[in-house]
A and B are shown apart, each in its own frame.
Chain A
Amino acid sequence: MPYGPHTAGDRERMLAALGIESVDALFADIPENLRASQLDLPGPEPELELAARLTGLAARNRTDLASFLGAGVYRHWSPPNVDQLLLRGEWYTAYTPYQPEISQGTLQSIYEYESLLAELVDLDVVSASHYDGAAATAEAGLMTCRATRRERILVSKAVHPHYRQTIAAYFGAGLEVDDIPLVVDGDAAGTTDLEALERLLGDEDRPVAGVIAGQPNFLGLLEPMAAIGRLAHAAGALFVSVIEPVSLAVLAPPGAYGADIAAGEGQPLGIPAQYGGPYLGILASTDALVRQIPGRLVGMTSDVKGRRAYVMTMRAREQDIRRDKAASNICTNQALLALAASIYLATIGPHGLRDVAAQGAARAARLETALAAVGAHRVHPGPYLNEFAVHVPDARAVHRRLIERGVLAGLVLGDILPDEPSLADTLLVCATEVTTDREIEQFAAALAAELSSHDVATHTELEVAR
């Protein structure tokens, strides 16, 4: 047993105390016809061999590429103190602070997380964490339905496709979701269509509970959030903003443009990409919605001696108390990732966070120039922060061949949004503070080489056809 303490003598002693000869006696209550077939698995693996197996698997992933892939998950510099502090067993081997007297570390850290995020989003209430940005956004949608007692929400098509698919699954049981289309051309191309939104809100037989839009949106573009919020509110709906937390150092926060709820992915705050999670679902709301917000909340209070202390509070919203009347079924959340985000924010500071956001914008501008110089121009004319889409002929094949040249050229938008014809043969690319000049040059040069050989190939095919 790799981690078990019992010697044969220990087991004998326990069996003797129970007056039985074999542990099998303790499983006699499993009916014979239901007992398990033998576990058909390999035997135990000694740590040294297992370590080699894991190292080998990790090495089969290619993480040496110059990467311009973002699309909801971003590479950032995470100061090493973040992970080193997370590795303290007092943090990661504790559980939910059900016993506040011996959990003040976790409780204060969650209270501080709520406070830090409240500053970033400029809203008052921040839940202790949700699974990820997609689940938090779906929960935000459900909140709007509970709060307004309406059963239909509108979601911009420029919200991350995975978030929209998650909303669809969470809303599958009787609630309605309608897409808000995107502006097709002109200066606002690729952003939420305000006229269409107004029409969708105007259907009096199907009143809208909430409107969900993202800033920046999935295509990297800046949305007219204040205008979307005004339209939502005029129709009696709540407004949910899907945020990216680093951008909030420089972009107007949800509280400033009238959002009632903010939801988003906290991964950019010092959390590694690790192929999909664990991440950090951010969910925040105005004070008015505090009884509707799902997930744990920690508040400051005092102990019997009048000393400041922290405790989980407003528990009557939660599943272990309210059972089928609870605001959500969430139990285990992403506390350790909320801690990571807090340590990151405390370490990087307000000026550092602004530098991260602004540096990303500067690197992305450089990337735009470099790609345009080799013929890959932006798809949309509107302003962006650090991510944008570019036209690339035969994007899927070019993307594949660029990997052979050491470049991960962002995301093939046609793969993730196959129903948007305007995005066929486009790539979504991003830059952050860790993107280097050398990587940008490598991308531009590789793309130039691919595009010229592509021209040659197309030309040859034409010749052959003729």
Chain B
Amino acid sequence: MTVVGEQLQPTLFERSRPGRGGDKIPHPPKDALDRIPAAARRVTPPALPELNEPEVVRHYTNLSQLNYAIDTGFYPLGSCTMKFNPKLNEWAARLPGFASLHPLAPDSVAQGTLQLLWELEGILAEVSGMKAVSLQPAAGAQGELCGILMIRAYHRSRGDTERDEVLVPDSSHGTNPATASMAGFKTITIPSAADGGVDVEAFEAALGPRTAAVMITNPSTLGLFEQRIGHLLEHVHAAGALAYMDGANLNAILGRFKPGEAGFDVMHFNVHKTFSTPHGGGGPGAGPVGVGETLLPFLPSPRVLRADDGTFRLEVVGERPTSIGRLRSFVGNTGVLVRAYAYLRAHGGTGLKQVSDDAVLAANYLRKRVGEAYDIPFDRACKHEFVASAAGIKKRTGVRTLDIAKRLIDHGYHPPTIYFPLTVEEGMLIEPTETESVETLDAFADALIAIAAECESDPELVKSAPHDAPVGRLDEATAARQPNLRWRPMAGAEMPCPD
């Protein structure tokens, strides 16, 4: 048996004692299940844990305290936009009128939510310069799938069935190529140029009659604005292909750049990044998709429609035959969208522009400060995030970026995104967001600089970090080789043992 460390908690199953808990629900009549045929009934009851409410509350409260979170400290996880999650939004999503509304409730009883969704579509269309928005996709990656399926439907509607390739820059999020594969396309990877942008020559060489779409993240995952974007988009369209924009980095360009105006045909929004909806320990998100004129007919169904009399309704089954259909049940992650709506309304047009101005200012200030001790591979004005590299430190001291990230934990910070994008050696993608004070930015920079000094003076200290976390570095190899993916109530002895 492995030892349960002082700060860790026994599992729910270890806490269980037969006979504990209960009395939440009135007991049903004895004959309640008599009409269920024996063949359909469960024979062995599920071995779920038996606990009383105080134990459950303590278990989850104690577990929560093992987490690092935005509410506990600075979380500069690049490409994830870990900004403050406003508490008003949590309150709003829990208003009974929103929270208890059934998704198949008739339009006449859902007018408040339908109006909110309709207004939100309009706000997102204005922010992105797109013609229309669908709120259906459940997350950014599903928004990508939605966009690529629409592009596929567009080409097919023109009888153009030869296009089976999607071009993706090598610095893109992994979701881009994975999405292309899911939609039945072959991914063609385009290398980056020396300045961090897309290599135009390679790009133009790859474009052709087989290109269905190009997926571009702008600003890129290096935090750089794609300055040749106008030129690239012209070539995409001249080749008969369509342009998809990954909106993961929208927090940099609110009020400064509208993808629809620039010529992108479709984009997704990550509302849990740009519009502050909680990341939830891994989700939920919501990934609305905006489209230009070309893809309008193919938007997923149902759309929210407004009638001349000011009432709102959902499209009915089969109302728009050109639609790609649906990518999930019901209308979308409405509870998440309520929070995004509140955020957008709280800021208004001027506030949103200020969000990006402050996010970009903070990132550049931090870039300058971190540059005192680290390599900055693209040392020019960045957008909302920047890449630092520990390649020089590694060469001198043998300490890797992973070690520096772990040492940051001891200094009280969540590490940045590391080894992404894959194109930068020993890279750290740092995104401060607009909700962190200049004092926090300075303290974080001081910590990174101090660690750089530790790398020289006491490299072992850094290599063996973290020292002050609830657990030390993990045995990930055993976890993958002999996966233990569930508690086995009758086989506790099978728990992995340390060597």
Known contacts A14-B362, A27-B256; decide if A349 and B28 are in contact (CB<8 Å): no
CB pair B182 A173 closer than 8 Å: yes
Q: How far is the CA of A403 from the CA of B108 in the complex (A)?
A: 9
Set B13, B36, B94, B365: member contacting A383, Cβ < 8 A: B36
* Stretch in A110-118, A194-202, A229-237 with 4+ CB within 8 Å of B: A110-118
Inter-chain contacts of A272 with B (CB < 8 A): 99-100, 335
* Stretch in B138-146, B203-211, B391-399, B447-455 with 4+ CB within 8 Å of A: B138-146
CB pair B85 A93 closer than 8 Å: yes
What's the minimum C-beta distance from A336 to chain B, rounded to whole angstroms?
3
CB pair B53 A79 closer than 8 Å: yes
Set B149, B181, B285, B353: member contacting A169, Cβ < 8 A: B149
Set B12, B61, B65, B348: member contacting A346, Cβ < 8 A: B12
CB pair A408 B46 closer than 8 Å: no
Known contacts A41-B348, A362-B32; decide if A415 and B316 are in contact (CB<8 Å): yes
Known contacts A61-B111, A272-B100, A408-B109; decide if A173 and B349 are in contact (CB<8 Å): no
Residues of B84-123 contacting chain A, CB below 8 A: 84-86, 88, 90-106, 108-113, 115-116, 123
CB of A154 within 8 Å of the partner chain: no
CB pair B256 A35 closer than 8 Å: yes
CB of B331 within 8 Å of the partner chain: yes
* Stretch in A127-135, A178-186, A203-211, A448-456 with 4+ CB within 8 Å of B: A127-135
CB of B77 within 8 Å of the partner chain: yes
Inter-chain contacts of A331 with B (CB < 8 A): 139-141, 173-175
> Which of A108, A320, A352 counts the most chain B CB atoms within 10 A?
A108
CB pair B437 A34 closer than 8 Å: no
CB pair A47 B88 closer than 8 Å: yes
Residues of A317-355 contacting chain B, CB below 8 A: 318-326, 328-337, 339, 342-343, 345-355
CB of A29 within 8 Å of the partner chain: yes
CB pair A323 B178 closer than 8 Å: yes
Contact with B along A235-254 (1 / 0, CB 8 A): 00000000000001111110
Q: B93 — nearest CB in chain A belongs to which residue?
A: A274
Q: How far is the CA of A265 from the CA of B138 in the complex (A)?
A: 14
CB pair A349 B22 closer than 8 Å: yes
CB pair A166 B328 closer than 8 Å: yes
Q: How far is the CA of A116 from the CA of B49 in the complex (A)?
A: 8
Inter-chain contacts of B104 with A (CB < 8 A): 69, 71-73, 411, 416
CB pair A2 B325 closer than 8 Å: no
Main secondary structure on B side of the interface with A: loop
Known contacts A278-B138, A328-B182, A355-B27; decide if A308 and B434 are in contact (CB<8 Å): no
CB pair B256 A30 closer than 8 Å: yes
Set B179, B335, B414, B479: member contacting A102, Cβ < 8 A: B414
Contact with A along B1-32 (1 / 0, CB 8 A): 01111001101110000001110111111001
CB of B292 within 8 Å of the partner chain: no
CB of A361 within 8 Å of the partner chain: yes
CB pair B149 A275 closer than 8 Å: no
Q: Count B interface residues, CB 8 Å.
A: 214
What's the minimum C-beta distance from A431 to chain B, rounded to whole angstroms?
12
Contact with B along A97-130 (1 / 0, CB 8 A): 1111111111011111011101110101110110
CB of A174 within 8 Å of the partner chain: yes
Residues of B47-65 contacting chain A, CB below 8 A: 47-51, 53, 56-57, 59-61, 63-65
Q: How far is the CA of A81 from the CA of B60 in the complex (A)?
A: 10
Q: How far is the CA of A111 from the CA of B80 in the complex (A)?
A: 24
Inter-chain contacts of B45 with A (CB < 8 A): 249, 350, 354
CB of B320 within 8 Å of the partner chain: no
Q: How far is the CA of A248 from the CA of B36 in the complex (A)?
A: 13
CB pair A297 B85 closer than 8 Å: no
Inter-chain contacts of B476 with A (CB < 8 A): 301, 311, 313
CB pair A38 B284 closer than 8 Å: no
Q: How far is the CA of A166 from the CA of B61 in the complex (A)?
A: 37
Q: How far is the CA of A14 from the CA of B46 in the complex (A)?
A: 59
CB pair B9 A108 closer than 8 Å: yes
CB pair A102 B469 closer than 8 Å: yes
* Stretch in A48-56, A438-446, A458-466 with 4+ CB within 8 Å of B: A48-56
Q: How far is the CA of A370 from the CA of B405 in the complex (A)?
A: 65
Known contacts A105-B66, A355-B27, A358-B33; decide if A166 and B349 are in contact (CB<8 Å): no
What's the minimum C-beta distance from A307 to chain B, rounded to whole angstroms?
4
CB of A288 within 8 Å of the partner chain: no
CB pair A14 B438 closer than 8 Å: yes
Set A37, A101, A321: member contacting B466, Cβ < 8 A: A101
Residues of A154-171 contacting chain B, CB below 8 A: 160-163, 165-166, 168-170
CB of B159 within 8 Å of the partner chain: no
Residues of B464-499 contacting chain A, CB below 8 A: 466, 469-476, 478-480, 483-487, 489, 495-496, 498
CB pair A104 B183 closer than 8 Å: no
Inter-chain contacts of A301 with B (CB < 8 A): 474-476, 478-479, 484, 496
CB pair A101 B470 closer than 8 Å: yes
Contact with A along B169-197 (1 / 0, CB 8 A): 00001110111111111110000000000
Inter-chain contacts of A333 with B (CB < 8 A): 139, 282-284
Inter-chain contacts of A58 with B (CB < 8 A): 92, 95-98, 112
CB of A422 within 8 Å of the partner chain: no
Q: How far is the CA of A181 from the CA of B74 in the complex (A)?
A: 55
CB of B425 within 8 Å of the partner chain: no
Known contacts A169-B149, A222-B36, A252-B42; decide if A34 and B474 are in contact (CB<8 Å): no
Q: How far is the CA of A135 from the CA of B325 in the complex (A)?
A: 13
CB pair A319 B96 closer than 8 Å: no
Contact with B along A15-34 (1 / 0, CB 8 A): 10110000101111111011
Q: Which 3 A-B pairs have the closest CB atoms?
A: A89-B71, A173-B184, A58-B97
12 contacting pairs across A/B (C-beta < 8 A): A39-B349, A119-B46, A168-B325, A253-B42, A274-B335, A278-B333, A308-B4, A324-B180, A333-B283, A336-B282, A352-B21, A361-B28
